[in-house]
Amino acid sequence: MASKLAVQLYTVREFTKTAAGFADTLARIQKIGYPAVQLSAVGCMNGETPEVSAVQARKMLDDHGLKCVATHRGWEQLAGQTEQEIEFHNTLGCNYTAIGGMAAEYRKDKADGFRRFLADAPPVLQKLKAAGIDFGYHNHAHEFERSGNGRETLYDILINEGGDLVNLEVDVYWVAHAGANPERIIERGKGRLQVIHFKDKEVVAEDGPVMAAIGEGNLDWDHLIPACEAAGVQWYAIEQDVCRRDPFDCLRSSFEFLTERGL
């Protein structure tokens, strides 16, 4: 079976600030064995006059045999520059984008804001979908705040009221950090989980819980991986916001652990 593992480039954001650094990063990712990446926080591609354009990024990816399976984009970009975003993703050969969290204008109003986002978003999401681009929402922990309606959380609103246009880029670390069960969230999102984020949670005596390479922490991967497969996850984006050692070594460790388990 072909690997379904991708590197979330946020993990190595300090190495992608220049074109040369980006190219070297892609080469190192390819050498580990990953077939794909998620473009996020790639400094050389940001700003009004980026050093690396989408056309150049696509060539660099192709040169290293890597596929862009997802991006993180701001809601302001997706909503305000939809046609440009479609062109950007088509150039990259990428059919999935996600926002990294709720836009501030909606987040501040909590449950009302989440529902207002779900009411405002469909015209944008329909344009993306018509162009072959799926949309996802990436969670942190704050989405598991209670909504004010019993035990319902803000994330429950996304799951129950988001519909087919709002896919769930579940980050299993943040689900566990919020005190929820990642397996149950994955089960509830079945069919809306094209791309999800994997990272582990380790306890270190001096610092308490910290992010870790997959398999080096305490998440229950022997049950979580089958749950993800049953729910139809297409790509597992390996992300580690903070690494306690060389991030490429963390990516290698995660890759080896997960490939041994069939991913």
Return the pLDDT at 133: 98
Return the pLDDT at 1: 66
Specify the pTM: 0.97
Mean pLDDT confidence for 111-118: 98
In terms of residue numbers, what domain contains 176? 5-259
Residue pLDDT, tens place only, 141-169: 999 999 999 999 999 999 999 999 999 99
Buried b (16+ CB within 10 A) or exposed e, 247-263: bbebbbbbbebbeeeeb
Return the pLDDT at 206: 83
CATH of the domain at 165: 3.20.20.150
* Helix runs in the chain, H state only: 19-32, 54-63, 75-80, 82-92, 104-107, 110-120, 122-130, 154-161, 172-177, 182-188, 221-231, 247-259
Mean pLDDT confidence for 60-80: 98
Residues comprising the chain, all counted? 263
Give the mean pLDDT of the chain: 97
Name the percent of the chain lying above pLDDT 90.
97
Q: How many domains does the chain have?
A: 1
Mean pLDDT confidence for 218-228: 98
Residue pLDDT, tens place only, 194-203: 999 999 999 9
